[in-house]
Chains A and B, each alone.
Chain A
């Protein structure tokens, strides 16, 4: 192995990430509960979903007896999806596409198109867009406008679709 390859294997060797796994798992539990509410809500109608999501905003993630890390569980106040006060967490189109828990290729592509349109409507822009085995890959310049637009649009139009699609199309072991 040459010097550059050795450096690459060791780069960042002095980095530390001290975040306790319990905190990460507590956050994951909140996300999983939110997904479950979402799925149930979609089956019962979007109005129910919105009500459930709204109730989650004040849920706080406090769940006594949730196992390791329950005492460390951070508040989710302010973590409602959407990132902007008064804006519905997920778009109507994304909610409809999530129905049944299965995302089709056309739903995934439509979601990405909405993400692009949403970005542009808010003064942002995705770049380097390409598709690898059916999965969109892209980036955006680190400008305040892009970051603000992406922070809202990814969650509003595409996040849940993106996760479900990628999980269904990664290579199984």
Chain B
């Protein structure tokens, strides 16, 4: 039986509109595409299980990403094995060329945790500064300063990656 009195359509809209943003945000934490897919699936399932509470949060998508990164995802891995011919649910170019998304995601994953979090929230989840600040429990000015440091670090790393490739 589905939740009594729970807005199912709202969850479907949330899932459809946020799943890819959440997926790339989780990949930016260093998970492989398969791991990220499993983790995001489990986190969205938990979001549905606790939807009355999750939907009232400042940023449900940030909750999904945090849950996905923290959660054990063995259930989905088992399910993947049980499916006879699983169609690949996630595809990516996944190249390691300097300008590729894979390199950029790796660079984000290599940032210190706070810098990574602010990049994920601001750019990958597209939250504004105020919402990002509340989600991280810091002042908006701290978000801006941390973001400035993160972008500088990313520029350095990407430049080095480009030089190594030449």
**Residues of chain A having any CB pair with chain B under 8 Å:** 4-5, 7-9, 11-19, 21, 23-25, 27-29, 31-32, 35, 63, 65-67, 74-76, 78-79, 83, 128, 130, 132-133, 137, 139, 142, 150-151, 154-155, 159, 162-163, 166-167, 170-173
Contact = CB atoms under 8 A, between A and B. Distances in A.
Contact of B57 (A28, A74, A173): A173
A76 B72 CA distance: 15
Given A11-B104, A151-B74, A172-B57, A25 B48 contact: yes
B116 to A, nearest CB: 10
Contacts of B137: 132-133
Contacts of B54: 167
Nearest to A171: B58
Report, as a range, how many residues of chain B touch the other chain. Answer: 35 or more
Interface of B: 1-3, 8, 11-12, 15-16, 19-20, 23-24, 27-28, 30, 33, 37, 40-42, 44-51, 53-54, 56-58, 63, 66-67, 70-72, 74-75, 78-79, 82, 87, 89-93, 101, 104-105, 108, 113, 119, 123-124, 126, 134-137, 151, 154-155, 158
A157 B123 CA distance: 34
Contacts of A173: 56-58
Nearest to B112: A128
A160 to B, nearest CB: 11
Contacts of A19: 19, 37, 41, 89
A162 B44 contact: no
Interface on chain A toward B: helix, strand, loop, or mixed SS? mixed
A17 B113 contact: no
Given A79-B75, A172-B58, A21 B23 contact: no
A9 B126 CA distance: 7
Contact of A29 (B49, B58, B71, B113): B49
Nearest to A155: B72
